[in-house]
Chains A and B, each alone.
Chain A
Amino acid sequence: MTTTTLAVLVPLLPFLGAVAGLLLGRTAPGFVRPLAVLPTLASFVLAVLVAVRQGGDQAVDAHTELTPTGSVPIELALHIDGFAALVAVLVGVVASCVQIYSAGYLRDDPRYPSYAALVSLFTSAMLLVVYSGDLIVLLVGWEIMGICSYFLVGHYWETPEARAASIKAFLVTKLGDVPFLIGLFALATDTGSFRITKVLGAVASGGLDHPTLIALLLLAGVAGKSAQFPLHTWLPDAMAGPTPVSALIHAATMVAAGVYFVARLLPVFEASSAAMVVLAVMAAVTMLGSGLAALAQDDIKRVLAYSTIGQLGYMTGALAVGDRGAAVFHLLSHGAFKALLFLAAGVIIHAAGTNSLAAMSRMSNLRDRVPDAFWTMTVALLALAAIPPFSGFFSKESVLGAAEHVATGHTEHAPGAAGWITLVAGLVTTALTAAYALRLWLLAFRGQGTEAPDHGRQPLTMTVVLWVLAVPSLALGGFAYRSLPDWFDGRDLAPTLTTSILGTGVALVGGIVTYAAWRHSTALAARVPLGAVAAHPEGDAGLVEAEAIATHAPAYGDVASAPDPADPGRLLLGPLHRHAAVGFHLDALYAALFVRPVLAGASLVRFLDREVVETYVRGAGALPRLLGAAVRRAQTGNVQTYVSALLAGTVVLAVAAVLVATGA
């Protein structure tokens, strides 16, 4: 088989698996699990094969035009370069792990067939986005991911949180997709093609007439999809979905699509320095804000969600300084360790029966209950905090190194301001990252108090994938940073001495401060009893999680935070904690700016419709009704009356006819 055929099969297999799963879900439940896992695994293997054959050499390009589609042709095109091949491998790994994990996590869920099919469909769409060489085909995958995300976030649709979160995720990403679509059209109008290769060729020859406009329009879509400020608010709420979904969509793949898209079309963005600065500011605000917010969250998954936003901020920061190699490197390592973090968090939630860190901090021995999750999560948190030699260290250092490279005057790709913004924000965020990573670890595993509830051994499917993912989290960065430049643009990804020392030092400071704060506040924990635990020892993990999410707000007063004085984050943030816990009131701001005017407009329209328009309609109905009533009175049933009227009319007509005929 040629590489092209293999590459076509990669997105196609999960798609067929999804279709088969949807069709057979009810009639043949036995096939659902194989149909979910096997196509994804096969497509992972094929993606690896494609990556091996491509080998970072010349990009594989293939295209066929199905039918003429107007002025700008739309083609089924493949464009597989080193980025595409490696990101596809990452998607394959994470999707396979998630499918295997889900088989255990949702083993008793009645909606598992549709869930698995949607995950497969989602995987297929993501692979399509990765491999597609045509922007419109890419958009198809992009939108399919959006709708799959909507369904998967709303998997526990019985809970109002999940319903609201799914709608919010859909609407916010769509809000970004509208300018994104317009941007794509503008781009195609300027360059005359939707093919990525032709677009890049046109950009290289300076054929772009409105680079800033196009770049900013595209950025809106990227911000929506990749959860960048100011369109990031859907991601923390999307944690109302099942944990594997969070791992797949909201950590490794979908949110990475935006970053990947920018990486693919980076020359388009580089054509406009304003767009690069905007990208850098966006990345900086996102990193700092999400780091502070993550420190104040009580829900373990929301901590990870904000952390995802922050890490995505690193990637966009790397793109803002024009180094897509660093961005995709961080995307790869982050995809691995963030998927691991989420999957491990799922195990912990199942074991603890709660998703609240405050409640976990009052349990002892949680780590003995779930040793696999404990160890793998420790690895992943270290990677997240960019502690050498874990993979996160190398990828993050490559980002910081690229930023420093630009900041120190190598501004041929990006403006120096973008470099400085990214560098400073990145360093501060390193400290914040270390702080919230350590806080999460301490609260989850170093709790004191009553014994953690025993929910038995976790299913093998759930624990094995943790170790599978722990391997790249541990070692990917260290082994890959030398060979990856061959796959990417060839720019060096090795950590530089300055940023390594600075970054690690800042991270250590953040960790130490957090530890000190924890030591100081942990004594309070025993005095303030807190916590609610879902009591479903026999239920599968999905059920426990759904219940934990649903009971968080009633038990603690809020979905995001808990009134826990023993929280080191509270001590660290001080008066900022209140604002950080609710995401710096961005939701309230949006509610005031957009939701309330729209609701007011809707109620105005409703009033106009009910009271004004309907009055006319009723009036229009009343007149015929009155006429009808009047005419009805004439129908007396007396034949003589009828005949009288008939003859009277006849006489009148006859006289009129005679008068007309005689010309009178």
Chain B
Amino acid sequence: MHLAYPAVLSALLFCTGLYGVLARRNAILVLMSVELMLNAVNLNLVAFDVWLSKAARDTLHSGQALTLFTIAIAAAEIGIGLSIVLAVYRNRGTSAIDRLRDSAEGHESDGPEDDAPTTDQTGKAEASA
């Protein structure tokens, strides 16, 4: 098989994930896009590992080992990432990334005014649910 097939597919998947990371509003969707990027890398690693091990240049199977590590780390990342998103959601009542602008210059003017009511309202909503 030509190495170009998996390599190009991996590049396309990676860029799709990149688009998702940059364009999605919901933090969980961003996490999904991150998973896409990680998988693209995994595909690359596996393809090159197969190629290199067949060409007898590498007998350590480092590509596959690294893929396993990446999967494990991705799992850990998704766990931590989700709990962070949940914590943010609990505190701020939203998981929309572009509304978390505390680091903006002079955000005090708009931030608190719409934050406090949102928190309050979601709090009530969840309490009722």
Docked-complex contact B22 and A644, CB < 8 angstroms = yes
Query: A638-B98, A639-B97, A639-B100 given as contacts; is B18 within 8 A of A632 (CB)?
Result: no
Interchain CB contact under 8 A, B21 and A643: yes
**A638 — which chain B residues lie within 8 A by C-beta?**
97-98, 101, 104
* Chain B residues whose C-beta falls within 8 Å of the C-beta of A647 in the assembled complex: 18, 22
**B97 in contact with A637 (CB, 8 Å):** no
Q: Can you list 25 A-B pairs, Cβ within 8 angstroms, ordered by A?
A: A632-B105, A633-B105, A635-B103, A636-B101, A636-B104, A636-B105, A637-B100, A637-B101, A637-B102, A637-B103, A637-B104, A637-B105, A637-B107, A638-B97, A638-B98, A638-B101, A638-B104, A639-B100, A640-B21, A640-B97, A640-B98, A643-B21, A644-B22, A647-B18, A647-B22
Most buried by B among A635, A636, A637, A638: A637
Bound-complex Cα distance A663 to B101 (A): 43
Give the distance in Å from the alpha carbon of A639 to the alpha carbon of B21 in the complex: 10
Residues of B contacting A632 with CB < 8 Å? 105
How far, in angstroms, from A48 to B100 measured CA to CA in the complex? 93
Give A contacts to B, CB under 8 Å. 632-633, 635-640, 643-644, 647
Chain B, interface residues (CB within 8 Å), range: 10 to 19
User: Which single residue of chain B is at the shortest CB-CB distance from A636?
Assistant: B104
Interface string of B80-102 (1 = CB under 8 A from A): 00000000000000000110111
Give CA–CA (A638, B101) in the complex, Å: 6
Look across to chain A and name the residue whose beta carbon is closest to the beta carbon of B106. A632
User: Of A632, A636, A647, which is in contact with the most chain B CB atoms at under 10 Å from its CB?
Assistant: A636
- The 9 A-B pairs with the shortest beta carbon distances in the complex, nearest first, are A637-B104, A637-B101, A635-B105, A637-B103, A632-B105, A638-B98, A644-B22, A636-B104, A640-B22
A633 to B97, CA, bound (A): 19
Shortest distance between the CB of B73 and any CB in chain A (Å): 20
Q: What residue of chain A has the Cβ atom nearest to residue B111's Cβ?
A: A637
Q: How far is the CA of A633 from the CA of B104 in the complex (A)?
A: 9
Inter-chain contacts of B105 with A (CB < 8 A): 632-633, 635-637
Alpha-carbon distance A644/B19, docked complex (angstroms): 9
Q: How far is the CA of A647 from the CA of B22 in the complex (A)?
A: 10
A interface majority secondary structure: helix
- What residues on B are CB-neighbors of A633 within 8 Å? 105
Give me 6 other A-B pairs in contact (C-beta within 8 A), A636-B101, A640-B97 excluded. A633-B105, A636-B105, A637-B103, A638-B98, A640-B98, A644-B22
Closest Cβ of chain B: how far from A644's Cβ, in Å?
Answer: 5
Give min CB distance, A132 to chain B, whole Å: 70
Nearest CB of chain A from residue B49's CB, rounded to whole Å: 24
With a CB–CB cut-off of 8 A, which chain A residues contact B104? Answer: 635-638
Residues of A within 8 A of B23 (CB): 640
Interface residues of B in 1-48 (CB under 8 A from A): 18, 21-23
Docked Cα-Cα span, A613 to B15, in Å, equals 55
User: Within the assembled complex, what's the spacing in Å between the Cα atoms of A644 and B100?
Assistant: 16
Closest approach, in angstroms, between the C-beta of B128 and any C-beta of chain A?
A: 32
A585 CA to B22 CA in the complex, in Å? 86
Q: Please, which residues of chain A bring their CB within 8 A of the CB of B101?
A: 636-638
Of listed A632, A638, A643, A644, residue having the most chain B CB within 10 A: A638
Chain A nearest Cβ from B67, distance in angstroms: 23
Complex alpha-carbon distance, A636 and B105, angstroms: 7
How far apart are the CA atoms of A643 and B34 in the complex, in Å?
13
Shortest distance between the CB of A147 and any CB in chain B (Å) = 56
- Give Cα A643 to B103, complex, Å: 14
In the docked arrangement, what's the CA distance between A640 and B33, Å? 13
Residue of A nearest to B25 (CB): A640
- Rounded to whole angstroms, the CA-CA distance of A632 and B105 in the bound complex is 7
B32 to chain A minimum Cβ distance, whole angstroms, is 15
Q: Tell me the smallest distance from the CB of A550 to a CB of chain B, in Å.
A: 58
What CA separation (Å) do A643 and B98 show in the bound complex? 12
Q: Which residues of B contact A640 (CB under 8 A)?
A: 21-23, 97-98
Residue of B nearest to A634 (CB): B105
A residues less than 8 Å from B103 (CB atoms) = 635, 637
Find out whether the CB atom of A643 lies under 8 angstroms from the CB atom of B22. Answer: yes
A637: chain B residues within 8 A (beta carbon) = 100-105, 107
Interfacial chain A residues near B100, Cβ < 8 Å = 637, 639
User: Which B residues lie within 8 Å of A636 (CB)?
Assistant: 101, 104-105
Complex formed: what's the CA distance from A639 to B102 in Å?
10
**For residues 102 through 129 of chain B, which have their beta carbon under 8 Å from a beta carbon of chain A?**
102-105, 107
Docked complex Cα distance between A633 and B98 (Å): 16
Q: How far is the CA of A644 from the CA of B23 in the complex (A)?
A: 9
Output the least CB separation between B42 and chain A (Å).
20
Q: Which residue of B lies closest to A638 (CB)?
A: B98
Most buried by A among B97, B101, B107: B101
- Of the candidates B22, B97, B100, B102, the one having the most CB atoms from chain A within 10 angstroms of its own CB is B22
Task: Tell me which residues across on chain B come within 8 A of A643, comparing CB atoms.
Answer: 21-22
Chain A residue at minimum C-beta to C-beta distance from B23: A640
A627 CB → nearest B CB, Å: 14
- Chain B: which residue is nearest A647 at the CB level? B18
Q: How far is the CA of A647 from the CA of B20 in the complex (A)?
A: 13
In the bound complex, CA of A658 to CA of B12 (Å): 19
Contacting residues, chain A, for B107 (C-beta < 8 A): 637
Inside 8 A of B22's CB, which chain A residues have their CB? Answer: 640, 643-644, 647
Q: Which residues of B contact A644 (CB under 8 A)?
A: 22
Closest beta carbon of chain B to A472's beta carbon, Å: 84
Complexed CA–CA distance, A638 and B111 (Å): 13
- State the CA gap A236–B23 with chains docked (Å): 88
Quote the shortest CB–CB distance from A577 to chain B (angstroms).
Answer: 76
CB contacts (< 8 Å) of A635 on chain B: these are 103-105
**How far, in whole Å, are A643 and B21 apart by their CA atoms in the complex?**
9
CA–CA, A644 to B105, complex, Å? 18
Bound together, the chains give a CA A581 to CA B100 distance in angstroms of 84
Taking the closest CB of chain B, its distance from the CB of A634, in whole angstroms, is 9
